[in-house]
Amino acid sequence: NKSASRARKCSSLKGFFKYITNNKHLLDTNPVEQLESPKNKKALPKYLTLEQSIELLNAVDGNNKLRDYCILTLFLNCGLRVSEMAGLNYNDIHSDGTMRVVGKGNKERIVYLNSACIDAYNEYMKVRPIDEVKDKKALFISRNHRRMSVKTIQAMVYKYLEKIGLDSQGYSCHKLRHTAATLMYQQGGVDVRVLKEVLGHENLGTTEIYTHLSSEQMKNAADSNPLAKIKPKKKV
């Protein structure tokens, strides 16, 4: 990261001149005191477009189709972490359309489910294994009748990403979390403070990385200026 490297060099330079000016008194004034350090440029999170998200959901097939579809639907609509997905119990989904999620540091939050999530959950529950299941409470069950682990869920997600040609482009379960956040903010108009609670972030600053602007939003901002349609008067 070139910007980070420049920032470190600038910080070292300022520290050196501060030392020889204040401690060694070799200079009367610090020549770099007013030097501004370059700001680290934050990389925008990678996410799927709305069209790619729909394509991913449509790619689901096989013996565990309803289970896999439910997992992907929850990822793309609720922005769960993969560890939170693996930790879900079937009774964490409540009849009032809410879901209990245990996040980092065992911190609990309530997530509201939309109709797509509720429908996917109900369809999966019709086929969710019951007999010989090792963890009776686990929501998502593996072919070995155990709770699906983080690695198992990741492998499943990679399989479908590969199917639609996105496996080699740095996409992952966490990118589906980015996708949910981005779609809610950019196309759903969700306030960043609400998004913070949905994602289970401690600080608003963490959530703000998802508020990156699309070129379409920037174009709309320019077009929304009340002066946008003012034309120069023609000379008579």
Domain ranges of the chain: 1-41, 50-210
> Is residue 177 among the annotated active site residues?
yes
The residue annotated as part of the active site, out of 47, 67, 69, 81, is 81
Q: Is the dihedral of CA 54, 55, 56, 57 positive or negative?
A: positive
Question: Tens digit of pLDDT for each residue in 22-68?
Answer: 776 666 677 766 666 555 555 556 788 899 999 999 999 999 999 99
**Is 174 in the active site?**
yes
74 Cα distance to chain centroid: 13
Q: Is 94 considered catalytic here? A: no
Q: What is the C-alpha to C-alpha distance for residues 8 and 10, in angstroms, rounded to an integer? A: 5
User: 50-210 adopts what CATH topology?
Assistant: hpI Integrase; Chain A (1.10.443)
Half-sphere exposure of 37 (CA within 13 A, CB side): 15
- The answer to whether 178 is a known catalytic residue is no
Closest to 95 (Cα-Cα) out of 118, 67, 69 = 118
* 171 belongs to the catalytic site: no
Which of these is catalytic: 18, 104, 134, 137? 104
The better pLDDT of the pair 200, 161 is held by: 161
Give the pTM: 0.70
Residue 63 phi, psi dihedral angles, 5° rounding = -65, -30
Query: Which single residue is written with the structure tokens 């000379």?
Result: 235
